[in-house]
Structure 1
Amino acid sequence: MYLSPAARRLLGVAPEADVTKQHIHAVLCSGNNGFSASPDSDDSLTEPGPEGRPIFGAIMSHHLQDGRIGGFSYQLHPGAQKSDFQPGPMQQQPNGQTDVAGANKAPGRSAHAGILQQIEISQVFSALAEPVIVYDPAGTPVMANPAAIHMMGFDPTGMPWRNFIQKKVLLYPNNRAVPFDQLPCSRALAGEKVRDEKFIRTDAQGRERTYEFNAVPLRHQGRITGAVTVVRDETERSRLMDQLETERTALQAIIHSAPEAIIVVDEECRIVMTNPAAKEFYQQTPTDRIPGAMGPGYNDSSPPYDPVDLPLARSVFQGEMIVDHELAVDLPEGKCRHVLVNTAPIRNPRGNITGAVGVFHDITQRKQERLELEKARTELEKRVAERTAELTRTVETLREEIEHRKKIEARLQDSQEKLRHFSHRMLHTLEADRQKIARELHDSLGASLAAIKFSLEEKLSQMPPDPPDHIMSLESIVSYLMTTIKETKRISANLRPTILDDLGLLATITWFCREFEYFYPHIRVEQQIRIQEENIDEPLKIVIYRILQEAMNNAATHANPENIRLVLEKNGGRIKLAVSDDGKGFDPDARLRASVPISGYGIQGMQERASVCGGDFEIHSRPEKGTRVTVSLPRPPDQTC
């Protein structure tokens, strides 16, 4: 059984030792390809797959001599059976290759063994996944396996060296062409061994690919008889490695630029990576100590930690993922910093923990701010409590004051109500006195004066046609009596016009306006009556008349107007009286201060009469702009009216 040097190294077989089925069994039985190889089976290598089909890309693992587990892929082709060959000699062909003769040549036993070995090597050569090319001393390819032909895009076997070199263009990784004498096969033919060197070549499809070359010279009796090159397509691996390097560089950039301290540990919790933020935070370069145990680590409400209880150690040894775990870390110079720790285990593809990563966020300032905020909140709560107590006392005082004011307001309202009743009684008494005086003047004094007038007129009628001079004095006396009687009637009408009781308010207003124009012939009075007599309540009639009388007399006495306009109308549920003139106007505030309260005259008298009945009184006047008096009385009137 033949093994290449690389296979011997993989299986741990010494170069001079014979290969046994136990070595192959150790490999085949440790994989996951479903083989059932047995050391006692003679055909363990003759049935690689169902019905003798080849197996490609099978994955195996193997315990290496240093204790590690190695993984590799392999291809397995069906080997030749002993019955497939008839013994025959190996003949040397003119081109130096060996040939296997037929069954009729009856070789010896050693020739038969050599034939089998040549066939097995040929089959192994063809089954190799990596491209392999064998060169003669002149550099002409004499053998190329299928993988090499696929890689080249043509079969180079027997191709002249110069033609082959023109087709086989290799570039360095920097895209510079490889000189002839530096080609792997040239260097191998010169006696140099080429190990794992990368070159770039364009394949048959025009794609640029990366290959790893190995080349060794072939020697016979100390002289070089050729060379062999083994090529491995590293394009995908290089791309993945470049991608991995790019991602690693990006990850390192992220870690190094992160504002939080980041520490990575291995499976024994030894620190393998830190970023600048971690070094700045710990004020030193963390080495082998467990992060969080750099100085006593402790929680605010618990005793110091056992190192194995620290977050990173728990992630490494127990596989825990720690989120927002608060620690207090003592730093050099006695400084204590509070950190918020987040850790997670790092696992390989098989799920085994190979380390852990921890992110340490310094919350010292935030914690101090929180403590200060709590202190400020406590102080604020204290001040709020004090202020609340003060406000409570103030509210209580205000409540007492409000109660006191309510009592005062109640007494004031009672006083105002009593005042209204008193005003009403006074006005009612005043009107009754006026009515009585007017009646006395009209019925008693007026009647007596009339009797005296009639008696004097009778005496004068009995006198001769030419009476003496002393008789003329009686005529003057009669004239004075007539004037006195008229004045008595006017005074009686002003005190209480009998027409108000006999004909009503509207007739009284018409009579008053006619009498007003008689006494003030230079003033024109305009009446606008828009209400019926039955719509005016009896208690309101004397109030409306007295306000009208006062407003027009004040205008005639003080304003010297040319026109007075009187409006009496129904306005919703109220009766509205408006008296306006175009006189010289006045200052209402000054006149109000000069008025005599509840006298029947003046602005305050009109306001008192309206207020007694629950009405509203307004007066608008400006110098040289006239005056307007407005009264609005409710229907029905207030009970005190």
Structure 2
Amino acid sequence: MAKQRKRPSDKRKLSATEQQLRAANQQLEASNQQLRASEGKLNAMLRSIGDHISMIDRDLNIIWANEATKKMFGDDIVGKKCYEVYHKRKEPCEPYPCLTLKAFQDENVHEHDTEVMGKDGKIIYFHRIANVALRDTEGKSTAVIEISRDITKRKRTEEMLQAANQQLRASEQQLKAANQQLQASEQQLKATNEQLRASEQQLKASNQQLQASEQQLRATNQQLRANEQKLLDDQAQLKSLASELTLAEESERHRIATELHATISQSLVVSKLQLDTLRASVPSRDIAGTLEEVCNSLDQTIQETKSLTFNLSSPILYELGFEAAVSEWLTERIQKKHHIATEFEDDGQPKPLDDDVRVLLFRDVRELLINVVKHANANKVKVSVRKVGSEIHVRVEDDGWGFDPAEIRVAAVKKGGFGLFSIRERLEQLGGHLEIESAPGHGTKATLIAPLKKEKINDGVKNER
């Protein structure tokens, strides 16, 4: 049977289809170029970040590392085991599973402080965050990203703080010993007076001894006053240093979060919108399916970048204010993530805050809520914010186990922990204080009190300073 000739209408359809395919390929190439440009921007950003960033697969092999990581551990670390490069071990880290494997298992964000060794053999302290970075087509995690920040200076500062605290305790013991010495001197004076009454010669000798003792007492008192003043000066310096460290850390976290949102997140969103548009116009199901997978991957990356940005620093705190940031964190991080019922209450009054007060107060509220999740076993937590005179009062209350505040203070001193002590010290440095109401079995109420931004009056008009 002779072959049928193609009709002109069929040729025109084939020609139109070919033109559509060529147009789709051109759009796909343009999208790929944009993706490569975004990838270049992402790589440039990762290279410019001072933090140490690497990706690790399920076999604990390093599959990618930024320039800061290679500079510290060597240019040849890709392909090697992470425990060999960072910890100079032959076996995986203990306790097992390590932070990276936990991220693969539960796909949650994990962070801790760890000790590593650089290529020059020096010990370095890192604060490390691990989170799932890559997934296969079935949604199974294939790589974990680790972001490590060098906290060696902070560790050294903490060691200096501990040494200073030990010196303070030693000075207190010296003060106690000096007081005991004073009591002994008083007893000696009484004995001397009895000897004075017994003999005139002994009286003269005792008077000389008394004068010498008085001089010694004056010298001791002067030394005690000098030691006391030094203790007060050291304490003020330690509080100021701790506050500056906290503000510096929050400032850096906010800077990194802002850069992530303004560059990487925006580029990823634009790329996804363009790919969605392209996918809708492509007639081929295979190409459309591939583009859909790329879009899903981009969407996952956008969500992870957004989560990372919020973990670093809440943009709501700087854009909408303290109350809005606390309300959002309470809902998103406590209720949705940990399934604890929450309630937020605001008296609606304006509560202007200085920048450092707003940042540190938000950090303290966040630490109290994290303590509720970790230790309280609570079913509900409530945060209330109100203006009282020239102060802001922020109360965090839960219906959990509760505790004896006196026992917590003693335990913190024995174990060398910070916790509520750090919150109390930061508030006092700002001119505020912390109030704790709790008892075993009756929940906990923690009230943060801090000064509002002062106001001044110019030409009869009240302005915020």
Report the structure, 1 or 2, having the larger strand content. 1
Q: TM-score, normalised by structure 1?
A: 0.35
TM-score (norm 2): 0.47
**Could you say which structure has the larger radius of gyration?**
1
More helix by share: 2
Larger relative contact order, structure 1 or 2 (CA cutoff 8 Å, min sep 6) = 2
